[in-house]
Chain A
Amino acid sequence: MSTTIPAAPPEAAPVPPRRARPAMTDRTRHERRLGWMLAGPALFVMVAVTGYPILNALWLSLFDYRLTDPDGREFVWFANYATIFTDGLFWRQFGVTALITVVTVSVELVLGFALAMVMHRALYMRTLLRTAILIPYGIITVVSAFSWQYAFSNTYGFVNPWFGLGDQDWFGNTWTALFAICVAEIWKTTPFMSLLLLAGLAQIPNDYLEAATVDGATPWQRFKRVILPNMKAAIMVALLFRTLDAFRIFDNVFIMTAGAQGTETLSFLAYRQTISRVMVGLGSAVSVILAVIVVLIAFLFVKVFRTDLSQQKGGN
């Protein structure tokens, strides 16, 4: 068993030769018009509720504007962006956000895969097992953050007594606080990762695995040469979704450390400027930068890693 079994070939859909577009019939035209009339209002509302805030944020980011000082509002072009990019705090928080993203997504991928395999292979109590695994994802992040904060507390938490750590102050140091935040994040969102991977796993035809078994492939070889290559698209989509999500991490940090001990992330930076400081211009600029980074991550996954988002609809 030394060759890789290729991914399932696309269904043989005959490609018609390119011809001049046939003239649209009256019926088609009417149906198209009806389609626009039915979907148009929804489309308009969607564009209005998503497009307007984005454009407004872009516009506001060009102002020095404090909500409690409306008279002091001043158009400053790109000064807010200059302030942000030249401040070490931004780069530090960018680093913290990237670190949390890389660590949590990596661990979640491994754990999520293991859980997906368990859910896929389970013969008994399948529904119960899947429900149990998905419970953390169903819990509101703020609630789970509080639970983990209590768990890691050095006065009433269970983590220290369980592992004999005495008075270890988890939230008193950057690295231990980040560890606690990552644990909470991983616990909360691994089920999501495993759910996406389970969908990918279910798409691998059983014939491939049976053929590999007949050829004498070990379980590791089957995993490496059959399962992984056939799940590439599902893995990339799972990574993309979780990376985008993890990069916007806010709730866990807000509850567990309130940004103390250098655990602030970029979302927290946007929150502090906009909500705490009511510096609407500066906060909008941070939000715009955050949005651009998220779009870049999505672009990177879709173009560079050739992630096929259509896989999530059931493929082909």
Chain B
Amino acid sequence: MRRTTHVRRRVLGSRVLGALAVLGLLAPLLTACGGEESGGPTTLTFYSSNPNQVPIVEKCAVESGGRYTLDVQALPNTASGAREQLLRRLAAEDRGMDILSIDPPFMAEFANAGFLRPFTDAERRHFSYDVLAGPLEQGIFEDKMYSAPANGNTQLLWYRKSVLKKAGIDPSAGPVTWDQLITAAEKAGVTFAAQGRRNESLMVWVNALVESAGGTILSPDSEGKPADEVTSGLDSDAGRQAARIMRKLADSPAAYPGFSTGGEENSRAAFQAADGGFMVNWPYIWAAAQTAVADGSLAESFLDDVGWTRYPRVLADRESAPPSGGLGLSISAFSRHQDLAVDVIRCVLSPTNQKAYMFTAGDPAVIGSIFDDPEVRERFPMADAIREGMADAGPRPVTPYYGDVTAAVQSGFHPPDEVTESSAKETGDLLEAVLSNERLI
């Protein structure tokens, strides 16, 4: 009898110990759950595609006075990489996602799939206040705002003042065309840098060329139609002009070595090289050049030699449509803290924080009045050109099938030295066939 009791005690003891161990393992989880219930800070997950957002996000968490904390998750640094990660998680209805940084062209795809929470009318009014037209349009799909514009972007024509005399052209004196610039660069023996790499930057270039020539990559009535009814606008004079210019630059000695694999950073390196002459690129290159000067990898005289003006024209008698870029902040439809997420976005996009982001990232703010700020004008002497470019920008197609559209364009217009005028029609046909599930991409 004594022995039995002893055994029972031992069994009981081990059970108690086991239960305690399990409780010990679960304790952090239980505490975390209880924290929110008992009024502790709620943790929201912020999927960020730019590390420069992090200090601002952290500042907002501190300013919230303990209402929320933010867990910042870095997204891949390429537009398509970020899209793929967001898409995978959203399609799996991941409830651990709250605030998402989204590249504007991919917003429609997410919104159409029901992955994003639309902003209410009051929220929309708040996030539209004093926001420039270009970035604002990019946050709206089928008349609902799904993305609060966080920063806008546009490309400028950058040039080296020292080569203008030899090139026989001065872009600051009046609008110039791609043809004039290519000829001028050849004459001066300098490079004219654009992005020929087969990724989103190529799509940005093709879209800007087509829009500048008065066309569109998708026919204007394609928005809202099912995939197999979407039609291309590339089989047009504008599409052929885009192909012609691309080929002309690729065949020209003004194209830098490695042009067909060169992205924004390669273009910047080519422009900063001794034979750099002209370049189309985003304004971040100005902040990057200043950093390079500060760390001694670039001569200080470089900054004095750089000039800028509006994106070049395709047709001499038609104003150019500069590329439109930027970033929007959206809320996942599967988030458990959607109202709180709105507060976070309000804080992150406050004028003060947009200005701070502009200074650290070099990407333009979306609030118009920021460009009148004397400090901004001092740091960004090209502020007016950026504001004008953002206002007149030609956005990339707004379609839920943007992923296929950009893949088809990247496939049809690459490599630039093999593009012919017939590439416009062939790419349009490919695009329609891909969307109808008749061809692969």
Question: What are 13 pairs between A and B in contact, CB < 8 Å?
Answer: A68-B115, A79-B437, A89-B441, A169-B260, A171-B258, A172-B258, A172-B259, A259-B198, A260-B197, A261-B198, A277-B407, A277-B441, A278-B403
Cβ of A221 within 8 Å of any chain B Cβ, yes or no, is no
Min CB gap B44→A, angstroms: 24
Bound-state CA distance A66–B400 (Å) is: 11
By a CB distance below 8 angstroms, the chain A residues around B110 are: 68
Closest to B437 in A: A64
Closest to B198 in A: A260
Contact present for B257 and A276 (CB under 8 Å):
no
Cβ of A312 within 8 Å of any chain B Cβ, yes or no, is no
Question: Knowing A154-B258, A169-B257, A278-B403 touch, does A67 contact B87 (C-beta < 8 A)?
Answer: yes
Question: Knowing A68-B112, A275-B84 touch, does A155 contact B91 (C-beta < 8 A)?
Answer: no
Of the candidates A68, A72, A260, the one whose C-beta lies within 8 Å of that of B261 is: A260
By a CB distance below 8 angstroms, the chain B residues around A253 are: none
Interface residue ranges of B390-441 to A (CB < 8 Å): 400, 403-404, 407, 414-415, 437-441
Bound-state CA distance A131–B197 (Å) is: 39
Cβ of B319 within 8 Å of any chain A Cβ, yes or no, is no
Binding site for B on A (CB under 8 A): 64, 66-70, 72, 79-80, 83-84, 87, 89-90, 153-155, 167, 169, 171-172, 257-261, 269, 272-273, 275-279, 282
Bound-state CA distance A80–B438 (Å) is: 9
Size of B's binding interface in residues, CB under 8 A: 33
Of the candidates B112, B115, B404, the one whose C-beta lies within 8 Å of that of A277 is: B404
Cβ of B324 within 8 Å of any chain A Cβ, yes or no, is no
Of the candidates A68, A155, A258, A277, the one whose C-beta lies within 8 Å of that of B198 is: A258
Contact present for A169 and B226 (CB under 8 Å):
no
Contact present for A276 and B407 (CB under 8 Å):
yes
Contact present for A278 and B87 (CB under 8 Å):
yes
Min CB gap A157→B, angstroms: 10
By a CB distance below 8 angstroms, the chain A residues around B437 are: 64, 79-80, 83, 279, 282
- For B257-280 the 0/1 string (1 means CB < 8 A from A) is 111110000100100000000000
Contact present for A169 and B258 (CB under 8 Å):
yes
Supplied contacts A260-B261, A276-B403, 4 more A-B pairs, CB within 8 Å: A68-B110, A80-B437, A83-B438, A258-B198
- For B72-85 the 0/1 string (1 means CB < 8 A from A) is 00000000100010
Question: Knowing A154-B257, A167-B257, A172-B258 touch, does A69 contact B441 (C-beta < 8 A)?
Answer: no
Closest to A79 in B: B437
Cβ of B53 within 8 Å of any chain A Cβ, yes or no, is no
Contact present for A171 and B261 (CB under 8 Å):
yes
Bound-state CA distance A90–B438 (Å) is: 13
By a CB distance below 8 angstroms, the chain A residues around B258 are: 153-155, 167, 169, 171-172
Closest 7 CB pairs of A and B: A167-B257, A68-B113, A260-B198, A169-B258, A172-B260, A171-B261, A154-B258
Closest to A271 in B: B84
Contact present for A172 and B261 (CB under 8 Å):
yes
By a CB distance below 8 angstroms, the chain B residues around A80 are: 437
By a CB distance below 8 angstroms, the chain B residues around A257 are: 261
Contact present for B415 and A260 (CB under 8 Å):
yes
Closest to B265 in A: A155
Cβ of B2 within 8 Å of any chain A Cβ, yes or no, is no
By a CB distance below 8 angstroms, the chain A residues around B439 are: 83, 87, 89
Min CB gap B78→A, angstroms: 9
Cβ of B332 within 8 Å of any chain A Cβ, yes or no, is no
Contact present for B403 and A269 (CB under 8 Å):
no
Contact present for A68 and B109 (CB under 8 Å):
yes
Min CB gap B207→A, angstroms: 19
Question: Knowing A154-B258, A260-B261 touch, does A276 contact B198 (C-beta < 8 A)?
Answer: no
Contact present for B440 and A269 (CB under 8 Å):
yes
Contact present for B440 and A68 (CB under 8 Å):
no
Contact present for B91 and A68 (CB under 8 Å):
yes
Contact present for A69 and B400 (CB under 8 Å):
yes
By a CB distance below 8 angstroms, the chain A residues around B404 are: 277
Closest to A68 in B: B113
Question: Knowing A155-B269, A276-B407 touch, does A84 contact B440 (C-beta < 8 A)?
Answer: yes
Cβ of B88 within 8 Å of any chain A Cβ, yes or no, is yes
Contact present for B91 and A258 (CB under 8 Å):
no
Cβ of B199 within 8 Å of any chain A Cβ, yes or no, is yes
By a CB distance below 8 angstroms, the chain A residues around B407 are: 272, 276-277
Closest to B80 in A: A276
Bound-state CA distance A155–B273 (Å) is: 11
Bound-state CA distance A70–B91 (Å) is: 10
Bound-state CA distance A73–B117 (Å) is: 23
- For B110-143 the 0/1 string (1 means CB < 8 A from A) is 1011010000000000000000000000000000
Contact present for A155 and B266 (CB under 8 Å):
yes
Of the candidates B87, B113, B259, B266, the one whose C-beta lies within 8 Å of that of A69 is: B113
Cβ of B227 within 8 Å of any chain A Cβ, yes or no, is yes
Bound-state CA distance A80–B440 (Å) is: 10
Min CB gap A204→B, angstroms: 48
Bound-state CA distance A28–B269 (Å) is: 76
Bound-state CA distance A64–B434 (Å) is: 12
Contact present for B440 and A83 (CB under 8 Å):
yes
Interface residue ranges of B181-197 to A (CB < 8 Å): 197
Bound-state CA distance A90–B88 (Å) is: 25
Bound-state CA distance A273–B441 (Å) is: 8
Of the candidates B84, B197, B227, the one whose C-beta lies within 8 Å of that of A66 is: B227
Min CB gap A299→B, angstroms: 26
Bound-state CA distance A273–B261 (Å) is: 23
Closest to B269 in A: A155
- For B224-235 the 0/1 string (1 means CB < 8 A from A) is 001100000000
By a CB distance below 8 angstroms, the chain A residues around B269 are: 155
By a CB distance below 8 angstroms, the chain A residues around B400 are: 68-69
Contact present for B261 and A90 (CB under 8 Å):
no
By a CB distance below 8 angstroms, the chain A residues around B87 are: 67-68, 278
By a CB distance below 8 angstroms, the chain A residues around B88 are: 275
Bound-state CA distance A64–B227 (Å) is: 12
Of the candidates B112, B259, B414, B438, the one whose C-beta lies within 8 Å of that of A260 is: B414
Contact present for B440 and A87 (CB under 8 Å):
yes
Min CB gap A83→B, angstroms: 6
